[in-house]
A = this chain, B = another copy of it.
Amino acid sequence: MKITELIAAMSGSFTHPSHQNYIAQLSIDCVIFGYQDATLKVLIPKLNFKGDFYSLPSGFVRQEEDLDQAALRILEERTQLANIYLQQFHVFGNADRHNERFMLDLLALNPQLTGPQEEYDWYVRRFVSVGYYALVDINKVKPQCSELDEKMEWIPVQELPKLILDGAEIIAKALKAMRLHFDDHVVGYNLLPETFTMKELQQLYETVFDKPYRRNNFQKMILDLNIVDRLEKQFTGAANKAPYLYTFKPTSNK
């Protein structure tokens, strides 16, 4: 067994020198959104490389694996979360979306990723990448670095660093697609606790769409969408002042 295979077998990691098991020149990039302190954030790996290089959690597709399965696997590897909301949104296929010099330098610093010289070639070729976005509960995520990462950070979408390749475009397209799906698919249920007030839901919408809503209009919109159930008020000393709690309807998860 080659040392590279041994390492891969031990780490069970997303990169793998036995490249014949993967579809060549096809990758998946994940834009993982979380919501915290009324702020929309993205999980961003910082590469283990001289200088500040940021990328997106990504991986490859196994020959026997559905594309969606691969995305779920990659997401689980990087967040330790299973069964979360994941949506394919765009394929990024420009011919110039690779940087051979950069990759060679990066791989030279991470010799465990490659064996013989020709395995480098697998990495440095052009990749067509399928973008998926996920909506997760930040508190449940345990970010996992790949072998290429120094660390992973939750960064507000308004404060993103410069990303390698077309990372900025991928996040912009993910955000646009997520907003488009937001009402239809009620994807927000992943971002809030089990029960929430109308005010908390409004804050989530204001953050996602980056615009204010008027309270009455917002409430009417949500009730018209028919996506939440109002719960009984809990008895407390000042029950009549406590806001109603809501929960997403079970059938609205799709």
* Interface residues of A, Cβ cutoff 8 Å to B: 2, 4-5, 7-8, 11, 13-14, 19-20, 23-26, 61, 63-70, 88, 90-95, 116, 118-119, 126, 128, 130, 180
A13:B24 contact, CB within 8 angstroms: yes
Inside 8 A of A63's CB, which chain B residues have their CB?
Answer: 95, 126
Cα–Cα distance between A90 and B131 once the two chains are bound (Å): 11
Known: A61-B128, A69-B95. 9 other contacts (CB 8 A): A4-B20, A4-B119, A14-B24, A23-B128, A24-B24, A61-B93, A70-B93, A93-B130, A180-B180
Q: How far is the CA of A59 from the CA of B91 in the complex (A)?
A: 16
- Output the least CB separation between A90 and chain B (Å): 7
Q: Do A93 and B116 contact each other (CB < 8 Å), given the known contacts A11-B20, A25-B24, A26-B26?
A: no
CA gap between A63 and B96 in the complex, in Å: 10
Main secondary structure of the interface of A (DSSP, over half): mixed
* Nearest-Cβ distance from residue A176 to partner chain B, whole angstroms: 11
Residue of B whose beta carbon sits closest to that of A5 = B118
Q: Given B5, B20, B67, B180, which contacts A91 in the complex, CB threshold below 8 Å? A: B67
Contact of A68 among B8, B25, B93 (CB under 8 A): B93
Min CB distance A119 to B, Å, is: 7
CB distance from A35 to the nearest CB of B (A): 25
**Cβ of A119: which chain B residues have Cβ within 8 Å of it?**
4
A144–B220 Cα gap in the complex (Å)?
A: 53
A–B complex contacts, Cβ < 8 Å, 16 sampled: A2-B116, A4-B19, A4-B20, A5-B118, A8-B20, A13-B24, A23-B24, A23-B128, A24-B25, A64-B95, A65-B95, A66-B95, A67-B91, A67-B128, A91-B91, A91-B130
